[in-house]
Amino acid sequence: MSWSPDRPIPVPRTVASAEAEGMTPDPRALEVPLERQLSVLVPIAGRLHVADAHPLVAPHDWQGPAAGAYRDLEDALRHRVRQASEAAEAAVHATRRALAVAARLADLQLPDV
């Protein structure tokens, strides 16, 4: 199920289940690693977006059977770079959503600090 800004975030249940399982009791501890991940992901996604927008194309004057076989590889590479760009972009969005969740959890637990 994909995330939507309209859908309520099930904070209490998540915190409860996490605490019940003895994991990550402090939501504020989530933010540091997530921000670190985001700081790595954002420039990577930017560079992959540029690579996707400017795919490598072999010189047009290269002809022959080897050139034809190579162009199939080039198409596959272009496809993979696009997938990589989309995956990095998706990871950026997911990390931002996770940070938002962590921030809300931290807000809810503020009195305990």
Angle at 15 between CA 103 and CA 33, to 5 degrees: 45
d(CA 18, CA 27): 10
Is 80 buried (19+), middle (13-18) or exposed (0-12) by CB count in 10 A? exposed
Residues between 6 and 45 that touch another protein (CB under 8 A) = 9, 11, 14-15, 18, 21-24, 27, 29-30, 33-34, 36-37, 40-41, 44
Count residues contacting another protein (CB under 8 A)? 53
Tokens of 112: 């305990």
In the complex, the residues that contact another protein under the rule CB under 8 A are 3, 9, 11, 14-15, 18, 21-24, 27, 29-30, 33-34, 36-37, 40-41, 44, 47-48, 51, 56, 58-59, 61-62, 66-67, 69-70, 73-74, 76-77, 80-81, 83-84, 87-88, 90-91, 93-95, 97-98, 100-102, 105
